[in-house]
Structure 1
Amino acid sequence: MNRPIPNAGADSAVDTVFELRRYTLKLGQRETLIALFDAEFVETQEAVGMSVVGQFRDPAQPEHFVWLRGFADQAARTTALPRFYGGPVWAAHGPAANATMIDSDDVLMLKPAGAGRAFAHRPERPVGAFADAGGPIIVATHHFPADFAEDGLRQEAARIAGAAGAAGATVLASLVSDHSPNGFSRLPVRTEANVVVTVARLPQGQGAAVSAVLAGPDASSAASSVEIAALQPTSRSRLR
């Protein structure tokens, strides 16, 4: 019988910085990247000081791969990223990962919208021959004008999370843009983005209804645009 094993260090500190990373892949390469990622890039990233929160397929966009990772703070991010991308695991497997990709620069740097912990009480990560399970997980990205103040973003985040909860979804994280300087310029982030990102677990069979609520004015009338993605966790995604 396969059992989850403890995720060393993943819950030892509260993450305050997150990256939402959305990759566009070459035709037919998503399963290749997922197999490589789940085998080689999970525990090895966590070993150098970051959390791999979850990795997902987007069923509506077959060439997209989406994942989330977290850091204790900006200093931890600036330390952990060069350790990984300058280390032996990326040297061995990075070229194969990059060969699957058309674009890997759609990256939002985020922080919790409120005082509560984002992605609290995550289950242990599956190991062994587990089938894909869980989800779908919805990620709603509400875009706001560049001059929309952070206090306003936080207020909108609370409103959006409330709308998601009222529609029956379980909100796992409510995040806003982190406009801190990028401490690892080798990996760009979208500095122009000013967003609220809401991550929630969908109730069975209610994806369309929750998506409609989050895309509508009852969630946010101030957003300039909204992206909604209902994602399916991979077999080794901790978030599911």
Structure 2
Amino acid sequence: MKVLRCPVVELRQYTLHPGQRDVLIDLFDREFVESQEAVGATVLGQFRDLDDPDRFVWLRGFEDMPRRAKALESFYGGPVWQAHRDAANATMIDSDDVLLLRPASVRGAFPVPVGARPIPGEPASLPPSLVLATIWYGNTPFDTTFVEFFQQHVRPLLTETGGEPLAYLRSEHSPNTFPALPVRMNEEVFVWFARFADEGHIDQHLNRLQLSQRWREEILPTLSERWARAPQRLRLAPTERSVLR
């Protein structure tokens, strides 16, 4: 049986003071990657939001909720965060926009990255790419029936139109095991991620999707019945040290 990579995932969106995003990214990529992974977290990816110059988005994974608590206690109580927290916090207006997720199926987990993460200051070994994160907000839980619908009907069409999902996740409703860091509870979300060569390929995918008769007549009506509000799309540019790229 395939073992899930990072059965618990945080999708973290930070609102920053104007002009501070690159300051935070430089600090994050230099100080906060290996130091988190040394205590049991996995930094899955970190990104610039192409549509908001003051938003930093990143993904962090854990083996389970108890180990999440242990890892966060170790990191935020440890010397690296203590040394740099004031500088990091000075860049931020809000860091509480956090969704707690779990892979929607074994096939929905994030893949193991290919190649090593560049060391600070070195260029990435893989060519540039962009990641599109799509967040669907549900009026009911995204249950097993919905996951089967996504896998059998939605995912093939996303793939055909050039947006094959890298991963797809749904809400994790376990109690927050590290309450010092808030998460958005009492929400039902389904989030999928896809990788593209550039903005043009994202636009091509979205245009093909909107023009698809299957999307308009078969899939979108079913999705719309479940949506509590309009979906959110994040067009994300990986930082130099992001392994998800």
Q: 1:31 offset after TM fit, Å?
A: 0.5
Alignment match, 2:117 = 125
Does residue 168 of the first structure (1) align with residue 162 of the second (2)? yes
Between structure 1 and structure 2, the one with the greater Rg is 2
Match of 1:223 among 199, 221, 227: 227
**Distance in 1 separating the partners of 2:72 and 2:146:** 28
Q: Which residue of 1 aligns with 2:85?
A: 94
Selected match of 2:44 from 31, 47, 53: 53
Distance (Å, rounded) in 1 between the aligned partners of 2:146 and 2:69: 25
**Would the alpha carbon gap of residues 180 and 61 (structure 1) be closer, same or farther in structure 2, given more than 3 Å must change?**
same
TM-superposed deviation, 1:49: 0.1
What CA deviation, in whole Å up to 9, does each residue of 1:28-61 have, x standing for no partner?
0001000000000000000000100000001110
Determine whether 1:42 maps to 2:33.
Answer: yes
5+ long unaligned stretches in structure 2: none
Higher helix share: 2
Mapping for residues 21-170 of structure 1, pairs under 5 Å:
21-116=12-107, 118-123=109-114, 124-127=116-119, 128-130=121-123, 134-145=128-139, 147-148=140-141, 150-155=143-148, 157-158=150-151, 159-170=153-164
Give the letter for the 2:80 counterpart: V
CA distance in 2, matches of 1:85, 1:110: 21
* Gap change, CA 1:77 and 1:211, over 3 Å in 2: farther
Q: Please name the residue that 1:15 is paired with.
A: 6
Residue 203 (structure 2) pairs with residue 208 (structure 1): yes
Asked whether the equivalents of residues 20 and 69 of structure 1 are also in contact (C-alpha less than 8 Å), the reply is yes
- Choose from 216, 233, 236 the match for 2:238: 233
Cα RMSD after superposing both structures: 2.2
* Structure 2 CA distance for partners of 1:164 and 1:61, relative to 1, 3 Å: same
Question: Structure 1: 5+ residue runs without aligned partners?
Answer: 1-11
Q: 2: distance between equivalents of 1:199 and 1:189?
A: 20
Structure 1 equivalent of residue 171 of structure 2:
177
Alpha-carbon offset, residue 18 of structure 1: 0.2
* Structure 1 residues 22 and 101: CA distance shift in structure 2, 3 A: same
Quote the Cα distance in structure 2 between the aligned partners of 1:139 and 1:211.
13
3-state SS in 1 of match to 2:159: helix
Separation of aligned partners in 1, 2:85 and 2:4: 28
How far 1:13 sits from its partner (Å)? 7.6
SS in 2 for 1:122: coil
Offset from partner CA, 1:142-179 (integer Å, 9 cap, x none): 0001x335334524543443332121123211100000
- Aligned letter for 1:122? P
2:237 is aligned with what amino acid?
Q
Tell me the secondary structure at the aligned position of residue 116 of structure 1: helix
- The one-letter amino acid paired with 1:125 is R
Partner in structure 2 of residue 195 of structure 1: 189
Instruction: Render the CA deviation track for 1:75-123: whole Å, top value 9, x for unaligned.
Output: 2101111110011111001111111001101100000001226121312
Counterpart amino acid of 2:203?
A
Following TM superposition, the consecutive aligned residue runs of length 4 or more in structure 1 with deviations greater than 6 angstroms are none
Q: Identity over the aligned pairs, expressed in percent?
A: 44
In structure 2, the residue matched to 1:4 is none
Distance in 1 (alpha carbons) for counterparts of 2:204 and 2:16: 29
Q: Secondary structure at the match of 1:168?
A: coil
